[in-house]
A and B are shown apart, each in its own frame.
Chain A
Amino acid sequence: MKVLIPSALRSYTEHSEAEASGATLAAVLADLDRRYAGIRFRMIDEQDRIRRHIRIFVNGKQVRELSQPLDAADEIVIVQALSGG
C-alpha cells in the first residue's frame, strides 16, 4: 500500500511516497523498516508507542494503535508535527 512520508523522514526513503505491505499498521511499519533501515525507531519507541510528535492517518482517520488492521487498498499518511524553534 501507499505510505506518504513526511519531509523529516525522506532522508530514509528519498521520496515522498513509499510502498509497504502488511495486515496491520505494525506489520506495515516493520516492512517499511526492512526497506528503509532505521525509519521505524524514529517514529515508534522501544515500548511500541507512537512518538509524541508523530501522527499516523489511514484513509484520513487518525490511528493510535499499531494493531490497527489494514487493507491493501488503504492509504497511510505519516505526519510529523512541526513546532518549536
Chain B
Amino acid sequence: MTRDSTTPAVQAQTRAPRTQEMLLMVATRKGAWLFHGDAARESWRVDGPHFLGHIISHLVLDPRDGRTLLAAAKTGHLGPTVFRSTDLGRTWKEAAKPPAFAKAPAGSPARAVDHTFWLTPGHAAEQDVWYAGTSPQGLFRSEDGGITWNPFSSINDDPQYRKWMGTVQDGTPDGPKLHSIIVDPRDSAHLYFAMSGGGVHESVDGGRNWLPLLKGLDVVEGFDRADATFHDPHCIRMCPSNPDRLYQQNHCGIYRLDRPSNEWVRIGKSMPKQVGDIGFPLVVHPRNADTAWVFPMDGTTVWPRTSPDGKPAVYATRDGGATWQRLDTGLPEQAWWTVKRQAMTADAFDPVGLYFGTTSGELWMSRDEGSRWTCIARHLPEIYAVEAARRP
C-alpha cells in the first residue's frame, strides 16, 4: 500500500527514450545497472547487469568527460579491484594496479584492502585524478584515470591515523570504511574525508598533512569527544553552490559546518523527537545551500537501521537545518528496508530530482524535490550506491 500514490510507479522500461539526458548509476551487492533517462525523467532504459555476481560498492561517472565510469568491485571470494569504462559501460577494463596498502615492514601489522568503498573524481583542473576510500580504512589516489592507484602514506601509514582507525574489530559489521572524499572545487589541494570509525579530516596541501575536524560533534555517551577514534561520521556533503558549507549525517546526529568556522552545529536537534536525527545518507541541493535531505533511521536499542516505526520518509530542510519537513507521499506506509550512505542522491535539474535505492532492491525517485515519490525499479539486488548525472 502506498500513501497518496497517484499513478502507477514508472516501471523500468527497455524502450529507448527519444533523448538520453539522465544517467543513474546503481551499484548493488550482485552487480551494477545503468538507468538512462530522458529529459523529462519519465522514461528509463535499463542497461545491466554489469559484473553480475560482483559486489559493486560504488559506480561513478567522471563529470570531466561525461563518459568515463569507474566501478569499485569484488566478489565474495576474490580480491578487490576497480573496473574502468571509457564508453559509458559498453566495454570495461580492469585497473592495472587497484588500490592496495603498502607492504608492511617485518613485525608490523599487515593490512590488505578488502574492498574499495568510495570513489571521487578529482578537481576539474586535474584531469585523470581520482580518489578512492577503502575498507579497512585507507585513502588512495590515481593520476591516470583510475588505471593505477597509489596509497596516501600520510594517512595509511601514519601512526596517529592508524591508532584512530583502530582495527577491523572497531569497525562496522562489513568493515570500517573511508568515505566522503571531497575536493574543494575552488582549490584542488583542499580535501576532506571521513572514516566510519575515526572522524572527519581536512588537508589544505593536497594531502601531505591532515588535521581532524571534530569540534562540536557528539560521540556516544561516556567516550572522549576529543579522540577521533570515537567519532563515526556516516556521510558528508559539500554544497556545490557554497563550498564553505558542509552538511554531515553522523552516528550521533545531523550537523552543518560553515567555514572558516571549525565547529559543527547539530542541526538535527530540530528534527521531530519521535524520529530523531540518526541515519546514513545525506543529500544537498545543487543550487541552494540552505536545502538538504536526509533519510532518518531507527538508531535505538540494537540499531535496527530501518525507518522509525517502519514508516519510510525523507526529511528536508530549506533553512539550513532550522526546521525540517517530512516528505513521504508515495512511499509505502509500512516497509522495513534501509537506505545506505551512498544510496541517495540528487540530480541538477530544476526542480531537483531525488533518488534513493533500498536494501530490498527498489529504486525510488522524486521529480519535485521530494514532494512525491515513485518507484522506478523493483527486484534489484540490495542497493549499495546510487549516483545521478546529467549528460551533455
| Residues in chain A within 8 A of chain B (CB atoms) | 8-9, 37-38, 41-49, 51-54, 80-84
Contact = CB atoms under 8 A, between A and B. Distances in A.
B79 interface: yes
Contacts of B94: 37-38
Given A38-B96, A46-B100, A53 B81 contact: no
A53 B98 CA distance: 19
A46 B78 contact: no
Given A37-B94, A41-B98, A45-B112, A51 B104 contact: no
B78 A38 contact: no
B204 interface: no
B76 A43 contact: no
Nearest to A38: B94
A46 B75 contact: no
Nearest to A11: B94
Contacts of A38: 81, 94-96
- Interface of A, secondary structure class, is loop
A80 B95 CA distance: 22
Contacts of B95: 38
A54 B81 contact: no
B113 interface: yes
Contact of B100 (A41, A82, A84): A41
A54 B104 contact: no
- Interface of B, secondary structure class, is loop
Interface in B309-357: none
Nearest to A49: B112
Given A37-B96, A45-B112, A46-B102, 20 more contacts: A38-B94, A38-B95, A38-B96, A41-B79, A42-B78, A42-B79, A43-B79, A45-B79, A45-B100, A46-B112, A46-B113, A47-B104, A47-B111, A51-B77, A80-B77, A80-B78, A81-B77, A82-B77, A83-B76, A84-B76
Contact of A46 (B77, B96, B101): B101
Contacts of A47: 101, 103-104, 110-112
A84 B95 CA distance: 26
A8 B76 CA distance: 10
Nearest to B51: A11
A44 B113 CA distance: 11
A7 to B, nearest CB: 10
Nearest to B151: A46
